[in-house]
C-alpha cells in the first residue's frame, strides 16, 4: 500500500524537499550552472514535479513548467525513500526501480548535493508526525 494518500501529499512532501532546496542560496548557486531541468513522474499516486534548476523554479502537475532535459520515473514511495537516504539512485536505475530519459550523467553530477536535504526532509516528516513515511 502506498504511503502517500494522494497527489496533494506528494506535492507537499516530495515537492516540499525541492522547495527547501530552492530556499538554500548556496545550493541554488551550485545548481544553476548545471542546466538541468528535471521532470519526475511519480506513480502510486500519480504526480509530476518539474524542477528548473537554472531558474530556481518548481512546477507541479503534468504539462506545467519548461520542457525537461532529464526525466525520472518512479513510485512516490521510491521518491520518499530516496530523500530518506535509503535509495541510491545509480543502483535504483540499474535495478529498474527508477527509469530515466535524457542525459542522466548531467543529473548524477548534481546528485551529491541532494544529500544535504536528507536531514531537513527527515526533520519535516518528524515535525508533521509522519512516522509512516519515516518507516518506509
The answer to whether position 95 is within a domain reads yes
Q: What average pLDDT score do residues 51-68 get? A: 96
Assign 72 a pLDDT band (cuts: 50, 70, 90). very high
A 10 A CB-CB count for 26 gives 9
C-alpha cell read off for 129? 508526525
Q: Give the CATH number of the domain where residue 104 resides.
A: 3.30.1050.10
Handedness of CA 46, 89, 25, 102 (dihedral sign): negative
Task: Check residue 136 and give its pLDDT.
Answer: 85
Q: What is the pTM of this model?
A: 0.94
Can you give the residue range of the structural domain that contains 98? 7-118
The answer to whether position 111 is within a domain reads yes
Q: What average pLDDT score do residues 70-84 get? A: 98
The total number of structural domains in the chain stands at 1
Which helix or strand (DSSP H or E) is residue 50 part of?
strand 47-52
The answer to whether position 135 is within a domain reads no
The answer to whether position 124 is within a domain reads no
Amino acid at each position: 500500500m502506498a504511503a502517500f494518500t494522494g497527489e496533494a501529499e506528494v506535492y507537499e512532501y516530495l515537492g516540499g524537499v525541492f522547495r527547501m532546496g530552492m530556499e538554500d542560496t548556496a545550493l541554488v548557486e551550485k545548481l544553476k550552472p548545471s542546466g538541468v531541468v528535471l521532470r519526475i513522474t511519480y506513480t502510486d499516486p500519480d504526480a509530476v514535479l518539474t524542477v528548473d534548476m537554472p531558474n530556481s523554479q518548481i512546477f507541479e502537475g503534468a504539462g506545467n513548467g519548461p520542457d525537461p532535459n532529464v526525466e525520472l520515473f518512479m513510485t512516490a514511495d521510491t521518491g520518499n525513500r530516496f530523500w530518506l537516504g535509503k535509495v541510491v539512485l545509480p543502483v535504483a536505475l540499474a535495478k529498474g526501480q527508477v527509469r530515466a530519459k535524457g542525459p542522466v550523467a548531467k543529473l548524477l553530477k548534481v546528485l551529491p548535493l541532494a544529500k544535504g536535504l536528507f536531514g531537513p526532509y527527515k526533520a519535516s516528516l518528524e515535525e508533521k508526525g509522519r512516522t509512516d513515511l519515516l518507516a518506509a
